[in-house]
Structure 1
Amino acid sequence: MCTLEKRGNIFFLTLTGTDEHRLNPNLIDSIRAALHTVRSEVTSSSSSALITTAQGKFFSNGYDLKWALVDKGARLQLISKKFRSLVSDLINLPVPTIAAITGHASAAGFVFALCHDYIMMRKDRGFLYMSDLDIGFQIPIWFSPLLKCKVGSPAVWREVVLKATKLTGDMAVERGIVDSAYDGVEETVEAAVKLGEELVRRKWDGKVYAGCRKTLYVELLNKLGTDETVGDYGDDEPNKKTLSKL
């Protein structure tokens, strides 16, 4: 699942193991529990930051569709509901957040990374990939305000969503999706720690920080509570096509 460790004023949330870190109810609940711990330990008299990273080849390969698509929608809607709650937790978290992407981040895994304030990525391996189009899966409506908040160019929105381009670290930096890219895992995490320490030294009020973030993402937050536009709800055939590509 995941672990949470605190080193000084920086929390490290790590997706553990060597699997694809696909987002299912168990993993999402584990991440949310870690964020709840961060929230409970942050006080008005201390400044902190959160770094999220992952072990193995993947940062996250998106929803656990093999588990979700066996019942024509109910499981997928459960994952969607829990994931939207996780996104809300991140946006409301009273500390700066940094994603240190040391492997592939696809579909909802890409979105999970985008929900952090800063993104750092290794450039020697791994890519960002909105795979939905390639696997025959329509993206949920609430992805749109997030992409528009995080990615400044309509040309890049098109490249990410309508061309399903696999973006390396350098490509993602060039397109303004990732803040910086590094030669390997250690360099990426070290850069995230350096940034985290710089942010901690600013000694911002966490409640104010979270409030500013919520203002930036108000359109996204308004969509999170009710949007269930996820997956295929017709006959079984689209789901079979999707499963065949996983």
Structure 2
Amino acid sequence: MSDPIRLQYDGRIANLIMDGDDKNTIDDRFLTSFRNAMNEVEKSEARVMVIRSAKEGFFSNGFNPDVFLGAPKDKIRASFKALLVMGADQFFFPLPTISLITGYAAGGGAFIAAYSDFRFMSMKKARIGFTEVNLAMTVPSSGLEILSRKIGYQNVLQTVLTGNLFKAEECLRYNIVDEICEDDETTVKKAEAMAKKIAGLPRTSLLSLKKNAAHWIPRDHFERLIEQDLDEIEKLMVLPECQGAFAALKAGKRPKFD
């Protein structure tokens, strides 16, 4: 079975390529592979990391329903913790990061897209949505706090409470992305041009600037929040509403709630 995340280097540019199932859904292998790839990039001579997808029409469609469907509480806790820790790793990554979004990014995939320092999105078919409410899930406070720092508190409320999948123009309005492009080809060109620009800058300066920009955000604060969040996650994810929603998702149906 091939690795769901692969790295491809173009000089000082590290391309982290999501290449899992047909929708790049997130499971335990995906999370472990993603974190391992980030660790490898950090130890390399790269100066910028581009997060992109090898799948047509999808960036990442969030958690695979099999991760949680019928799973015991300790398994749910472990898988969700891995996602939250990976998100914090991405947010605090010591080098500049770029998201290249040319397909659907939903749930956990939307957070991967939004957490980068530079975010380029295609107007053609790409969508981004924090869709957890549609599955009777919650978004942990640690994840929402990081998202608030990226897109703003009011934008968080208006996106996570509706569960909508947003087109590029709406994503720009909600500050989920920085730049939208007319098609996939232009999006790739713009993102790669930014990566090349950053790759030509001094690595020591880039590392210092990223560190100093986040000096007032304590990492251990998020680590404490994550543990508190997981207590709530354990309770919610085994409820009939949530389990029924994942069963519907697996069956290709829209979840319905009373």
State the TM-score bracket (shorter-chain normalisation): 0.7 to 0.9
Partner deviation per Cα, 1:195-236 (whole Å, 9 max, x = no partner): 112223332524323423433643763456523142544865
Q: 2:130 touches 2:163 (CA, 8 Å); kept in 1? A: yes
Q: Could you tell me whether the CA contact under 8 Å between 1:49 and 1:199 is conserved in 2? A: yes
CA distance in 2, matches of 1:222, 1:81: 10
Deviation sequence 1:53-92 (CA, Å, 0-9, x none): 0122211111223222322432221211211222232234
Equivalent-residue separation in structure 1 for 2:157 and 2:88 (angstroms): 25
- Aligned-partner residue type, residue 43 of structure 2: S
The TM-score with structure 1 as length reference comes to 0.87
C-alpha contact 1:146 1:217 (8 A) present in aligned 2: no
Q: Name the counterpart of 2:30.
A: 27
Contact 1:11-1:38 at 8 Å conserved across structures: yes
Distance in 2 (CA, whole Å) between partners of 1:104 and 1:218 is 32
Q: Residue 141 of structure 2: SS of its match in structure 1?
A: coil
Query: 2:176 maps to which residue?
Result: 177
Deviations 1:20-72 (A, max 9, x none): 21111101111111111111113xxxx61110001222111112232223224
CA contact (8 A) 2:142 2:226 kept: no
Separation in 1 of the partners of 2:99 and 2:225? 21
Partner of 2:43: 40
Q: Which SS does the other structure have where 1:6 is aligned?
A: strand
Tell me the matched-pair count. Answer: 241
Match of 1:102 in 2: 102
The within-5 A match list for 1:222-237 is 222-223=223-224, 225-226=226-227, 227-228=229-230, 229-230=232-233, 232-233=235-236, 236-237=239-240
| Alpha-carbon separation, structure 2, partners of 1:231 and 1:189 | 39
Residue aligning to 2:71: 71
Paired residue secondary structure (1:93):
coil
| Paired-residue identity, % | 19
1:235–1:210 distance in 2 versus 1, CA, 3 Å = closer
Q: CA deviation at 1:153?
A: 5.2
Separation of aligned partners in 1, 2:197 and 2:188: 14
Is 1:192 equivalent to 2:191 in the alignment?
yes
Decide which moves more: 193-202 or 216-225. 216-225
- Please name the residue that 1:161 is paired with: 160
Tell me how far 1:96 sits from its aligned partner. 0.3
- 2:15 pairs with 1:12: yes
SS in 1 for 2:26: coil
204-213 or 142-151, larger mean C-alpha shift? 204-213
Deviations 1:151-200 (A, max 9, x none): 1251x222201112221112111222201111222221211111112223
Task: Tell me the alpha carbon deviations over residues 113-158 of structure 1, each in whole angstroms, 9 at most, x when there is no partner.
Answer: 122111111111021111111121122121221121011251x222
Structure 2: any 5+ residue segments left out of the alignment?
250-258
Distance 1:234 1:21 in 2: 22
RMSD of aligned residue pairs (Cα, Å): 2.3
Change (3 A) 1:187 1:232: farther
Structure 1 or 2: more helix by fraction: 2
SS at match of 1:230: helix
One-letter code aligned to 1:64: N
Asked if the contact 1:88/1:224 (under 8 Å) is kept, the reply is no
1:119 counterpart = 2:119: yes
